[in-house]
Structure 1
Amino acid sequence: MSAGKKEFSRLPGCVSPINYSVWLKPCFKTFTFAGKVDVCVKVNEPTDTIIVNSAEIKPGSAEFCANDVTFSPAAISVQEKEETMAMKFDKPLPLGNAVLKISFEGILNDKMKGFYRNQYEVDGVKKFGAVTQFEATDARRCFPCWDEPALKATFDVTLAVPKELCALSNMNIIHEEEYKEDSNWKLIKYATTPIMSTYLLAIVIGEFDYIENHSNNGIPVRVYTAKGKSFRGEFALDVAVKCLHYYEDYFKIPYPLPKMDLVAIADFCAGAMENWGLITYRETALLIDAANSSAHARQWVALVVCHELAHQWFGNLVTMEWWTHLWLNEGFATFMEYLATDHCLPDYNIWTQFVAHDFKRALDLDAIDNSHPIEVPVHHPDEIDEIFDAISYQKGASIIRMLYNWIGDEGFRKGMHDYLTKHSYQNAATEDLWQALGEASGKPVNKVMESWTKEMGFPVIGVSSSCQTEGALTLKLTQRKFCARQNSTTASGKKVWSIPLIVATPKSPHSEAQRFLMDKETEEIVLDGVSKGSWIKMNSQCCGFYRAQYSKEMLEALQRAVETNSLMDLDRLNLVNDLFALASSGVSSTVDFLRSLTSFKNETSYAVWNDLDCNIGELSILLWDSPEVLSKFKSYVISLYEGIAKKLGWDAKPDDGHAGAMLRSMVIRRIGKFGHKDTIAEAKKRYQDHMSGKASLSADLRSPVYQIVLANAEGDELDDLIKFHNSADLHEEKERIERSLGSVSRTDDLDKVLKFAMSDNVRSNDKVFVIGSVGCGSAVGRDIAWRFVKSNWDELHDMYKGTFLISRLVRMTTENFTTAEQAEDVEVFFNEHPPAAAERTVRQSLDSIRKNVEWWGRDRKEISEWFCKQ
């Protein structure tokens, strides 16, 4: 499979847009739409041809009006592969301002991109509406346009829709009247938008209820839901109002639009989309049911709402110049979502979960050979979807958090305000942000941060200590690139990062002992007031994007600190995460990591347990093809979890808090799926009571209970749960069941799950995750899911090409293989069936497989022998 650059060129700069006047009329019987667009343009240089972006649009008439003269194109040609439309005139067009008028017809597609149809139900009756999803390059599927982020313009939208439907756009309605051609329709005109990129324009048409509140500045904030379900928007509305005020205060820039709408969409590919003034969401990313939503679901909704609202400033008000700088949008919005959620919901202790989820994901992906720099050159539009990943989002957010802790909140706030003010309604690049933050903080931000954005990867710091004078300890530090595989192709060559370091000691366990900048390959620092044998924790509070490898003596001291709970939870999490990464990459022994787990038997932090659980899950996948060793491993894990499981019990306690509910769910899931008999028995009992209506199962326990029951199914449990899924009206419940189905163990049941995935009972945006649940559930499921994907590739690829879901499908059904033969099979298949917009994902999956091959080949004997002694 070729990793080379694809042929692509951006639109010529001879003509640029100023304002679009867009008129659209959808038809829900034929799933088509009629459209007209009048574009005020500026002809910047002599040309006889206007080229715009256009895809799946049939052009009608076109004309160019300048200086009271109308020009008709001699020819209109459509280049389907390039997604462009060219209008060639008989003579050069006059320079200056003019109006380009185009009529056209389009398709309300079922691909969840462009202007597409959205199926929903009202009182059990299936109906259709229309929704737009334009990021990254799909505004061109709705109307001919200059579909590049730097080519900003204002927009005037007019919609013709049936009278009974609600129609929303970015701005408020300024005029509504009966549609003259049909009295059952209405014509709606919206206010002119601010100058913005095409990918932020939005339209939503359908039947909705809404609830409303107002921001501190009087901005109306509404959450739109399906009919009769507006009560499920109350949590999101509360978060949105608080968050909007927080950002206005933080950035010192008022929200610039007259309203803010948040809309739950039934058929939606992504988690959410930050369209200016009209944010669209998956139902599970916006709606919360007080009786049936889990703590995890509440947290997810809060984070996504805060993420999309951050974009109203960072991305919408100031936009990246080109997709190479995508991380400016997504990395900052991801960082700000945690900052805002921490402010709105401080009891969530959300930063510990940032480290457990986002920070860890970024490190894992950035350690493989086929990672990419934060600023990755983007050539062809197909490559854009590939960088909506953990590097742009999670690594971006992690290095911003590192920067934030280095320059401090005051400098960060001022720099953000200056950057957003200077570049409002314009486009910017990474260097513009570094300049603003550097000037605000007085620190060499650009010099330090270039080492993190221009190249992929991150360092591991080797740490040893010596006591040269009484009461002081000297740390000897060495940095080198960390690689997930010993046979990495990217390990060669010297690479030095500028690393803001924070060190904790017993003298200051809850704050840094010392801060300094490491910008050389080797450094020595002296810590005063620290005696020999004391624990020393690098990367205090896990703010730096690097790993640490301690000398044997230093590691032993840290493990004693874990056992006595002397380290803060983020430091305990960081320690175990580094230990596992060093073991899986071959830098240290996997058995040494397994031994270290006993230090965490008395652990109580959800974030720490979550990281331990992820590591255990990854190890179990490595052992899938070695049943005897896997069985012993499961017994060992159960012995580690039994203490916390007994302490937590099955029922909620008054002092659980937000994290306690999630910890109980995670612990029960792990020991139940690993075969703990009492847990399996209790799960079956509670499942029966829940399904019979005898006693409702807590929302936090449904996912683990469903998985445990399915993994131990002996009868019709799968059929019963699928029926329960089909009758549920809360999408969170449907999704919970869908992502549990792959837990079944019988081959015929796994085949049944895959058949169900492709049925009309599973929405297109969820089918991937049902298939993925099979691929991630067991060795048998992995093999069956991969065969299924290969057999149905044409249908699946056609369904998801051009969306991030194709990457999810590839990753979930390939990355868990563990043999060289399986790697070859994956590589050969995708060489023969190139996956548009997922080529990088295939290479990353192959990296994961080859890492597993090397890992097991290297440590197999030692792991097997160690478990035989347990």
Structure 2
Amino acid sequence: MTDESKDDVLLFEQDYPRQCFLRKKISLTVPMCILLIGIFLSSAFIVSVISFYWSNGVICYAKDTEQNKLEQPTPRPIYYSRPRRSVPVKKANLPCMDIGCCSNLNPAAPWRQNRLPTNLYPVEYQLMLELFHLNEENDEYSGTVDIVIEVESPTYDIILHGDLLYSDVIVSRRSSPDDVLMDVNCMFSYPNTQMLVIHLTEELKVGYTYDVRISFFRALNVHGTGLFESQFNKDQFGFAQSRMLLTHFEPVHAREAFPCFDEPGFKAKFQLTVRHENNTKIISNWDEEESFNDETWIQTEFQTVPPIPTALIAFAVIFTDDFSNKSVEVFHPVTNRPIQINLWARKPFFENENGVYVDEPLTMLKDILTALLNVFQDIQIPIVPNKIDVLAVPEYPSDAVSHWGLLVFTEYALLHNHMTTSEIEHERIALLIAKELAEQWYGNSISFQWWTDLWLQEAIVNYLKYHVVHAAYPTWNIHDQYAVEELLPAMFDDGMSTSHPILKSVNTPAEIDQLFDSIETTKATAILRMADYYMEKSTGIANSTLYNIVSFYHDREFGYLIPDEILSKYRIGSWSGVDFFDRWLYQSNFPKIFIRFIQNASDGTNVLYFRQTRYLTAHMYENDLYPPETNPFGYVWYVPITCRFGNESNNFQLTRTFYLDREAMNVSFGTVYYNYFYCNTDFAGYYLIDYTNENWEALSGELLNNNTQLLEIDRANLINNAFLGAQTTEESYSIVREITQYLLRTPYTGLLSWQALSYHVNRMLNVLEYESVYGVVQKYFQLVVRNHYDTNEVSLWDASGSPSQHILKYIIIQLACRVQLNECIDKATSLWYDAYPLLEVGMTNHSLPAHTREVVYRTHFQNTYNDSEWMSIETDFHKFFDLQERYRLLEAMTQSRQPWHLYQFFYEDAEENEDRDVDILEVLSLLARNPVGRELAWLYYRRHWTKLQEDYGRTNQRLGQLLIDITATFEDEFHELELIDFLASTPGVDANVDARFWALERANMNFWWIVDNSEDMAASFDLET
């Protein structure tokens, strides 16, 4: 019998008498009652006397000094009802808590390293917490954690993570018939690495199992990490408030809640027991096992979770009066095992005068989980627990975080009503749900061993999210949306010298926090997508990535993600999967491929010439964080390229794939010559193509002639290629004008083309708004969008059409109003007055179709001088439980061009009334999009930097992202110098260091982009030429 099975028998044997006792019927006589009362009173008197004398006891401190125990904070006594493994009893005395009183310490001092030593591994946690905070408004909690550990190599030290205060520690070796108590020499914390060291006088030996019990206490966190309290309003006016307790342990914050081995490579079983008030409810990863009630509290015990990293443990304590839940069942397609999805949200979202906001997300959760179960239907063991709790909360550090069996979303990111939510918002919510659910397989059941492998997990779940959303909603054509919604912004960011490789050194908590950016997620997904596409080109095997994901899972349930094992299954041309991926994972940025036909005059033969170079949009080469001499591959990638060649108009005669694995190469075409070609078919490659001017002209002609072999995604690729090429001085914006002609000649209805154009035009105009060339650029794009707008003006603003048509309508009217097309502004103003009477009284069921609302609200407030309307909405927008509508109104108000409105809203409302569900960081980010509000946001950010860190925490990545948002449109020397001065006077901290580099480079890039390209833009977009 194994140790584990012995433990199970022991637990059962200990539990059995208590279960039998609860079933007994007991009859008490009067004398027996009198006897029992006497025994009780005598016991109480004896306990009181003992407590009085014990309170004067002493505890051991460094250098053997004695202090009265009453002077130290005392945790609540921990009450156990669940049978636990027997631990030898000793008086609760804390060992010496100073490194100076330790004897025979390891001279290597492994606690000084950023990573835990690997001589010990946890097998199981049993965590007991007392959380009496919601009613008592107490910010301190206490608990005890029992950790079962196994020894890989002999050691005197138990080193784990912990950022708490401790009241007791017991270490014992499992033995028969009785466990053996180990003597603790000392116990100390090392703050620099947040490690806790328990130093023993006797060596821990290989082959033995040890139990560690640590009693601890600490205050609740205030910055949204570890275990923290979140406050929210119970009404729209902020008169009544309530609270809830939440956890956010990802990536390295479990150590702030309880002592643990807080690294992803230390997976262990986990069992949670919590005592909480009887008017509260606790939800956690796994099903509730049982609960015990008292008059004022409940003890809830949860089933044991399979081996899991500490970052994925989660629980929440909520008032039962505040929250309701609604459930739906999903069934495994093979085993028919039911899985219950429970959606928890505040009660007003279940029913109010504007509708219900839980039904749509619950349906999405059901549809998407069904699609995921179909993908993994061959895996019939219960990976997903019998229940998945989905909790919607007012505020959380991220839009959503997936824990095994418990998903936490912000209300805005999840709750919605179909009637008031646009198709773009529907797709955004569905993709977010799909990503969090996909992590139940890759991320929770299978997890990575260290943070350097985060990229593959993110790539896999991003790949899966598009696959399953397409399976659930095939009419959305969601696969194509990846290119224009995620890939375009990621390529722009990755083109800067402050970008970084996907794989880089990661050791400290700050470096781990910095991993969560578009490079680790979107770029990693793009590389996986490219490998999948060219795997099919090379082998004829379609959907190889999906097959690899599922087949790897068969052998690794509850195990670790092993990148090389997955990547080795790919073969792209003659390249192995590992060789191919290494060139993309270890190098920042991406290649730009120059391609042209070269004719040999002497013999009449032709070669196709390829040359790859590193693409950079920025002009700060002297501050390159990853110069070529430090690059293991010298900025030479393995680049698969599929091209189509043609001589005749409206037709390609040849399609061929090439494999570029050196800086330059020639491919012989013999005597065959083609007038033009298009490369990077289906926008599958993560690179740009550098065409000659003649080839650009030919491709423009093919677009004008509507060459059907140029698919919609190819056209979006060409638009992106032209804009990014012109971002540098190597190409002209005349190519952008040339390649966009097909959009204005006829009312073109291809969605992806307009989305690609909208992204780049909005980005350009946001920076140029402060420059004289703005008017020239604006007028050209008015011309581009006018024909489509004028032809379809009536239908653009109505509710007819498919989901894709609704998105196209939104793109057109947003772009038309952005470039100040008068017809669009007039229409938005007239529609505003149709909606305003109902908005004024807090109603959202007015006549405006969902896809028009954002444009109408924002455009009206940008162009109106009606103070009473602005003040009315500013006063009442808090009343909206429709969060999509509330956000639209908030965004619209912050885009007012009247500075006194912005000042009043920010300083007299948002800042002074944060308790009214107003997110200060969100308001500052929205203000930064406004040419008038940008200066207000920048001034506040600089003057209140210290306060922002105190309020939101040094590790909060939103502070760094806010700096990027505010400075994104800095375009002159004055603002760049202000930024440099601010950065010099406020050193970067923790997770915000990289954001400072990004902000500085973008400001510098904008400045030199305008200096170098203004004349070219003026000439290229001038309608007189």
Match of 1:84 among 195, 210, 218: 195
1:377 deviation in Å? 1.2
Aligned mates of 1:420, 1:19 — CA distance in 2:
23
CA distance in 2, matches of 1:658, 1:862: 38
Query: Does residue 455 in structure 1 map to residue 570 in structure 2?
Result: no
Name the count of aligned residue pairs.
856
Query: How far does residue 333 in structure 1 lie from its aligned partner after superposition?
Result: 1.3
Q: Structure 2: 5+ residue runs without aligned partners?
A: 1-111, 351-355, 537-541, 840-845
Task: Give the deviation of 1:582 after TM superposition.
Answer: 0.8
- Which stretch of the first structure deviates more once superposed, 518-527 or 662-671? 518-527
Q: Deviations over 1:205-255 (max 9, x none)?
A: 223322222233322222222224344233333333333333333343245
Partner in structure 1 of residue 682 of structure 2: 541
Match of 1:839 among 993, 1000, 1007: 993
Q: Which residue of 2 aligns with 1:585?
A: 728
Matched, 1:517 2:659: yes
Cα distance in structure 2, aligned partners of 1:512 and 1:270: 48
Counterpart of 1:639? 783
| 2:1016 alignment counterpart | 862
Indicate the residue corresponding to 2:894 in structure 1: 742
- 1:243 corresponds to which of 342, 362, 368: 368
Distance 1:457 1:596 in 2: 25
Aligned equivalent of 2:125, options 14, 20, 32: 20
In the alignment, the residues of structure 1 paired with residue 959 and residue 227 of structure 2 have an alpha-carbon distance, to the nearest angstrom, of: 20
TM superposition score normalised by structure 1? 0.92
In structure 2, give the amino acid aligned to 1:565.
N
Per-residue Cα deviation, 1:392-420 (whole angstroms, up to 9, x for no partner):
11001111111111224353333223322
Moved more, 586-595 or 839-848: 586-595
Cα contact 1:419–1:436 (8 A) shared by 2 = no
- The equivalent of 1:107 in structure 2 is 219
Equivalent pair of 2:442/2:460 in contact (CA under 8 Å): yes
Pairing 1:298-313 to 2, within 5 Å after superposition: 298-313=426-441
* C-alpha distance in structure 1 between counterparts of 2:234 and 2:590, whole Å: 51
> Is the CA contact 1:673–1:707 (under 8 Å) kept in the aligned structure 2?
no
Map 1:421-570 to 2 at 5 A: 421-437=554-570, 444-465=576-597, 475-485=608-618, 488=621, 489=624, 494-505=634-645, 513-525=655-667, 532-533=674-675, 535-566=676-707, 567-570=710-713
- Is the deviation greater in 584-593 or in 819-828? 819-828
Can you list the C-alpha shifts for 1:691-748, whole angstroms capped at 9, x where unaligned? 2129433222221112111211312243223223211112222222333333121222
d(CA) in 1 for partners of 2:853, 2:670: 52
Amino acid at match of 1:169: S
Aligned pair in 2 of structure 1 residues 689, 72: CA closer, same or farther (>3 Å)? farther
2:330/2:369 contact within 8 Å kept: no
1:207-246 maps to which residues of 2 (within 5 A)? 207-216=323-332, 217=336, 218-230=338-350, 231-246=356-371
Q: 1:79 to 1:460 in 2, by over 3 A?
A: same
Match of 1:194 among 306, 311, 316: 306
Query: Which runs of structure 1 show a deviation greater than 6 angstroms over 4 or more consecutive aligned residues?
Result: 467-473, 506-512, 526-531, 762-765
2:570 and 2:576 in contact (8 A); partners too: no
**Aligned residue for 1:151?**
266
Cα distance in 1 for residues equivalent to 2:729 and 2:1018: 16
- Distance in structure 2 (CA, Å) of the matches to 1:426 and 1:467: 57
Shift of residue 846, structure 1, vs aligned partner: 1.5
The more displaced of 641-650 and 138-147 is 641-650
1:809 pairs with 2:949: no
Alpha-carbon separation, structure 2, partners of 1:516 and 1:861: 38
Structure 2 residue aligned with 1:720: 872
**Which residue identity lines up with residue 138 of structure 1 in the other structure?**
H
Structure 1 letter corresponding to 2:392: A
**1:334 Cα deviation from its structure 2 partner:** 1.4
Cα distance in 2 between the residues matched to 1:294 and 1:352: 18
CA distance in structure 1 between the aligned counterparts of 2:533 and 2:610, rounded to whole angstroms: 21
Report SS of the residue matched to 2:305.
coil
Q: Is the 8 A contact 2:145 2:214 kept in 1?
A: yes
User: Does the aligned pair in 2 maintain the 1:50–1:88 contact within 8 Å?
Assistant: yes
Closer, same or farther: CA 320–788 of 1 in aligned 2, 3 Å: same
Q: Are 1:650 and 1:664, in contact at CA under 8 Å, matched by a contact in 2?
A: no
Deviation string for 1:620-647 (max 9, x for gaps)?
2332332x43233323222221122234
TM-score between the two structures when normalised by the length of structure 2: 0.79
CA distance, structure 1, for counterparts of residue 658 and residue 490 of structure 2: 24
**Aligned partner of residue 89 in structure 1, secondary structure:** strand
Give the deviation of 1:199 after TM superposition. Answer: 0.6
Cα deviation per residue 1:96-131 (whole Å; 9 max; x = unaligned)? Answer: 211111122233333222112233455664221112
Once structures 1 and 2 are overlaid, which stretch shifts more, 183-192 or 570-579?
A: 183-192
User: What residue in structure 2 maps to residue 687 of structure 1?
Assistant: 832
Q: Say whether the 8 Å CA contact 2:280–2:317 is kept in structure 1.
A: yes
8 A Cα contact 1:509 1:568, kept in partner: no
Q: 3-state SS of the aligned residue for 2:689?
A: strand
Separation in 1, partners of 2:552, 2:299: 40
Aligned CA distance change for structure 1 residues 588 and 79 (closer, same or farther; 3 Å): same
Distance apart, 1:650 and its partner CA? 5.6
Separation in structure 1 between the aligned mates of residue 714 and residue 847 of structure 2, nearest angstrom:
38
Partner of 2:415: 287
CA distance in 1, matches of 2:873, 2:669: 59
Structure 1 residues 487 and 122: CA distance shift in structure 2, 3 A: closer
Aligned counterpart for 1:61 among listed residues 164, 168, 175: 168
Of residues 605-614 and 750-759 in structure 1, the stretch that sits farther from structure 2 once superposed is: 750-759
Q: Is the 8 A contact 2:618 2:1002 kept in 1?
A: no
- Contact 1:211 1:233 (C-alpha < 8 Å) held by counterparts: no
| 2:1003 equivalent to 1:849 | yes
Closer, same or farther in 2 for the Cα pair 1:631/1:151, shift >3 Å?
A: same
> For residue 253 of structure 1, what is the aligned residue in structure 2?
379
| Structure 2 equivalent of residue 321 of structure 1 | 449
2:577 counterpart letter in structure 1: V
1:330-381 per-position Cα deviation (integer Å, ceiling 9, x unaligned): 1221122112112211111112211012111221121111111111211210
The answer to whether residue 147 in structure 2 is matched with residue 35 in structure 1 is no
Deviations 1:581-625 (A, max 9, x none): 011122202344245433322432232212211211222233233
Report what 1:611 is aligned to.
Answer: 756
% identity of equivalent residues: 21
1:125-204 correspondence to structure 2 within 5 Å: 125-179=240-294, 183-204=295-316
Kindly provide the amino acid, as one letter, of the partner of residue 313 in structure 1.
W
**Contact 1:768 1:805 survives alignment (8 Å):** yes
Give the superposed CA RMSD.
2.9
Cα distance, 1:530 vs structure 2: 8.9
For 2:394, the equivalent position in structure 1 comes to 266
User: What does the per-residue CA deviation read over 1:523-547, in whole Å, with 9 as the maximum and x for residues that have no partner?
Assistant: 34478999733x5221111011111
1:661: how far off? 1.8
C-alpha separation in 1, matches of 2:413 and 2:998: 27
Letter in 1 for 2:252: T
Which amino acid is the alignment partner of residue 979 of structure 2? Answer: V
In the alignment, the residues of structure 2 paired with residue 509 and residue 194 of structure 1 have an alpha-carbon distance, to the nearest angstrom, of 58
Which residue of 2 is the match for residue 794 of structure 1? 946
Q: CA deviation at 1:569?
A: 1.0
Q: 1:815 to 1:24 in 2, by over 3 A?
A: same
